[in-house]
Structure 1
Amino acid sequence: MPLFSQENEGVNFDKKYHQDSIKTWTKNILDIMQKGHPGFYRYTSKEEFDVIIDARLQTVTDSLTTLDFYRNIKPLIAQIGCLHTGIALPEAYETAMRETKTHIPLEIFIDENRKVFITKDHAKNVTIPIKGELLSINDTPIDSIIETLLKAIPSDGYNETEKVLALNLRFPFWYQSIIEMTDAFKVKIRSENIIQEYTIQGITPEVFPTQDMIAPTNKEQLVFEVRDNIGVLKIQTFAKTTIKSNGQHFKKFIKDVFKTLEEEEVENLIIDLRYNTGGTDGNAALLASYFFDEEFRYWDRIEVTEQIAGQVSKGMAKIFYSKPEKKDSTYLWKGALLTKEFRYYKPQKPAKYNFKGQTYLLTNGFCMSSAADFIAILSDNKKAKVVGEESAGGYQGNTSGLMPEVIMQGGFVITVPLHKYVNAVDPNKNIGRGTIPDYPVSISLEDWISKKDVVKSFAFDLINK
């Protein structure tokens, strides 16, 4: 990789750090996370985690490059089981990586049997068969590659729908950062029962879909129509700033939707939440209020660590936040003093135009954070049927809220969420999982390539039957 270093001044991909430094960095990062992160041991006990950390540290027997260190610690952080907890490479490093021709020029789809197929070919020197099954890359079996990537991608609990969808959308980026950074790829592909090997050159990433192309932020985030006496509501995000920047107002829009449903006596409502990665909790809680005709619980409680509780109890923080309440060994967050954020653990009032018909929620592996909370609350209270894939966010809640970034040794940036949200749902259901659909709908390779919306079609068929 010396050529990459020459192409990107200021970033030396070959520079190594002593193994003692690597072990110290790892311990410091995990120590900071553990002290501030109230959900650090939500899915893996301290005893188990200590064993996992020690085992990982024992694998560090030599000096590592920046990228090697990242690949070593990324699965450890993913082990926390928190979508909102992360580590990022130094910004200059990420920029330099994007400028290299080290992205595999293929887009893929992982089906329900974990087979991997080619969906798009961006190779410039050879034609790769679309729909061909990818068997190996640079002599490593694809199932081994996928297993390594799944362990490195963070998700809430043990959820995998988000991880698989992330690979279906961004495989070249994950392969480059976690598996290897090379400019040549030898791929083995099975097509029409014939296995062939191809050598393809790496490319820069401009041809791949951006995050904005996957879930556009520059168009209407809220869309509603009544089709054949069926209400169809698309909510791309709950984020107040994104909705406002596109000239929409969530509270008014949603009120008009449910007023229309009542006036037109619509009996069935489809809410499409696919690719809704969350946003403003107040908007999600407000939407939930339209499905209840009496007071209801949204969150059960919010927890913080002892360290965060101590910081809030002194200094400037006292002006903005209430002092957390200690209950047994837990510190309960009591919210902000001047705003309504964090207040949704209190009983919630029903909205005026509450919907009494049948509701269907369309979900996939990118339903996260507040979107996942909303789905869990409606599902647990039997206010809706869930159609599609398991949601990415935890059924029992997530850890997010205030999420400061800390720059560590080597320029790595870690994100540590400070609030553990516990949803007001059955505490014994879907532990470590998202909301499991009432009607699971699998997407086939053909559906993915043709962009056929089999999930929405399934919901319409349910209603019409």
Structure 2
Amino acid sequence: MKTVSSMVAVLVLVAGIWQQVSAQRMPPPLPKMAAAPLIEDIVLLKKILEANHPSLYWYTPKDSIDYYFQETIAGITDSLNEPTYKNLVSKLVARIRCGHTTVRFSKAYGKIAGLYRYPQFPLSVKAWDDSLVVLGSIHRNDSIFKRGTIITAINQRTPAQLLDTMYQYISTDGYGINHKSQVISGNFPGWYKTILGDEDSVYIIRYIDSTNSEKETTIKAYRPVIDTGRKKEAIKEPRLTRREIRKLTLLNKRSMLIDSAASTAYIRLTTFTGGRLKSFFRKSFRTLKKLSIQNLVMDLRENGGGNVSNSIRLTQYLIDKPFRVGDTVAAISRKFTYGRYIKPTLIYWFAMNFGASKEKDGKIHYRRYERHEYMPRETHHYNGKVYLIQGGYTFSAATMFISQLQGQPNVKVVGEETGGGYYGNSAMHIPKITLPNSGIMVSLPMYRLVMDKDRPKGHGIIPDITIKPSSQAIKEGYDIKLAEVKKMIGASNDNR
């Protein structure tokens, strides 16, 4: 049986060969692993999920999950390289419909993945519903595929056909697809290559031209030219100081701008982890109080969640009533039967044994989040109008935050459906499974959180005001959601 260590050795050897033959246009074929150890990893994955995953059958019945595992195993009849195998595992795991159960390449493959990035689809593309719109072209002087160009087919596949195919490999909470379309938009060339392969040196693309007519043309795959000559002298760029780097890192996680003329504050929050958030919240709401700011816009479109305590703290500054984190926060087990394949385990074992309790239903409950009522903060509590902008990347703790506030009289939720579930999700503790033969990694949420048992199940938060992307907004380069919110604020200010 091949082990991860032997696989690492093969991949490192491949990388070494590539360094020696850098003048060739394509790297050597990826190493393959025999079918038997790959099947063993699938069998082990099923055992681990059955032992610890709190929501394995939440959206997909057990007999269906069993069938999908059998189908995957039956499909492994020969040796496979890692990208092909990862696709099989990703498609299988996506059937669980849990956005916190995701698949990653092995660490060994991550070290050489860049060698296999090309050839690649040459256009950056925004995807939503059944639409594909060009964001940019990697080919210089591309006179056809300008920003905002609508694509109607790629190699005879319609946008709906392409996206339906790609969606099968991406995990999300429940049945929503908005998170999947956002993920694909983030790296359309990468997903196209990963799912559909890179055998095409030329792509046949149908598109809508400037006269609103459908046209067809071809475009070459992108293959960077390998420079085998002398190394060019590196351009020296000014180095940032540690203080400047820290400042930029914080700004990337949270920032606030104030438009005094419109009495509006804009907060961009991309995470609930790190960023000295509690201090940022305290200073921000103190400023809003001092300046008597009437409107607050919070952009959570990039916020994938994070620390629940930070989400709770922000909620306290805005909510008008006591609240609990959820109706149920429970794990099916606090034992790690297959702990040697799960890391870390010790920290979670302590948390689940000393911070949670086994109840009559046989599950391990985190009672504080189920029972404790958090109160609105009195100091610098914000009572003005609040506009929460959300999207497909809005997940986990960010979804928890928005769901607590939606329906409050002074709050409007705008944008698109969240990726995180409105009814609940599986998260809290998320260690990582490493399959021993392939090295493929799978995240493993330990707790099921039901935020409100009376909410509809199966989708993310549906906004009060839906604002979809548009090809015109993409073409003109403006943020359609933020523009619409500003119009709403202007109309509200005019009516005061």
SS state at 1:296 partner: coil
Q: 2:366 aligns with which of 333, 339, 364?
A: 333
Shift of 1:116: 1.8
| Match in the other structure for 2:23 | none
SS state at 1:50 partner: helix
Residue identity matched to 2:322: E
- Per mean C-alpha deviation after superposition, the further-off stretch among 410-419 and 349-358 is 349-358
- In the aligned structure 1, how far is the partner of 2:262 from the partner of 2:150? 43
Give the conservation status (yes or no) of the 8 Å contact 2:270–2:304: yes
| Match in the other structure for 1:153 | 170
Give the conservation status (yes or no) of the 8 Å contact 1:17–1:65: yes
Distance 1:126 1:385, change over 3 A: closer
Q: Deviations over 1:138-195 (max 9, x none)?
A: 5555433221111111111112111111112211111222221447242322243353
Spell out the pairing of 1:238-317 with structure 2 (5 A cutoff): 238-241=271-274, 243=275, 249-308=276-335, 317=350
| Match in the other structure for 1:98 | 114
Q: Deviations over 1:184-234 (max 9, x none)?
A: 2423222433533314133469xxxxxxxxxx8463513142533533231
Give the conservation status (yes or no) of the 8 Å contact 1:184–1:201: yes
- In the aligned structure 1, how far is the partner of 2:291 from the partner of 2:347? 54
Aligned residues with identical type, % of pairs: 22
Shift of 1:136: 4.3
Distance 1:204 1:153, change over 3 A: farther
Shift of 1:422: 2.1
Distance 1:108 1:318, change over 3 A: closer
SS state at 1:70 partner: helix
- In the aligned structure 1, how far is the partner of 2:28 from the partner of 2:44? 24
- In the aligned structure 1, how far is the partner of 2:476 from the partner of 2:362? 53
Shift of 1:347: 0.9
Spell out the pairing of 1:36-47 with structure 2 (5 A cutoff): 36-47=52-63
- In the aligned structure 2, how far is the partner of 1:315 from the partner of 1:58? 35
Shift of 1:370: 0.9
| Match in the other structure for 1:177 | 194
Distance 1:152 1:382, change over 3 A: farther
Residue identity matched to 1:422: V
- Per mean C-alpha deviation after superposition, the further-off stretch among 406-415 and 446-455 is 446-455
Distance 1:377 1:168, change over 3 A: same
Give the conservation status (yes or no) of the 8 Å contact 2:154–2:206: no
Give the conservation status (yes or no) of the 8 Å contact 2:312–2:401: yes
Distance 1:125 1:363, change over 3 A: closer
| Match in the other structure for 2:18 | 7
Q: 1:351 aligns with which of 377, 393, 411?
A: 377
| Match in the other structure for 1:439 | 465
Asked if residue 26 in structure 1 is aligned to residue 47 in structure 2, the reply is: no
| Match in the other structure for 1:210 | none
Spell out the pairing of 1:25-424 with structure 2 (5 A cutoff): 25-100=41-116, 101-112=118-129, 114-123=130-139, 128-130=144-146, 131-138=148-155, 140-182=157-199, 184-192=201-209, 193-203=213-223, 217=249, 219=251, 221-241=254-274, 243=275, 249-308=276-335, 317=350, 321-334=354-367, 343=369, 346-352=372-378, 353-379=380-406, 384-408=411-435, 409-423=437-451
SS state at 1:152 partner: coil
Q: How high is the TM-score relative to the length of structure 2?
A: 0.78
SS state at 1:463 partner: helix
Give the conservation status (yes or no) of the 8 Å contact 1:231–1:261: no
Structure 1 stretches of 4+ with a deviation exceeding 6 A read: 309-316
Give the conservation status (yes or no) of the 8 Å contact 1:387–1:441: yes
Distance 1:300 1:8, change over 3 A: farther
Q: 2:474 aligns with which of 431, 434, 448?
A: 448
- In the aligned structure 2, how far is the partner of 1:313 from the partner of 1:133? 51
Shift of 1:420: 1.9
Shift of 1:389: 0.9
Provide structure 2 residue ranges, at least 5 long, that are not aligned to the other structure.
1-13, 21-26, 226-247, 340-344, 492-496
Distance 1:416 1:429, change over 3 A: same
- In the aligned structure 1, how far is the partner of 2:285 from the partner of 2:302? 23
Q: How high is the TM-score relative to the length of structure 1?
A: 0.83
Count of residue pairs brought into register by the alignment: 436
Give the conservation status (yes or no) of the 8 Å contact 1:78–1:152: yes
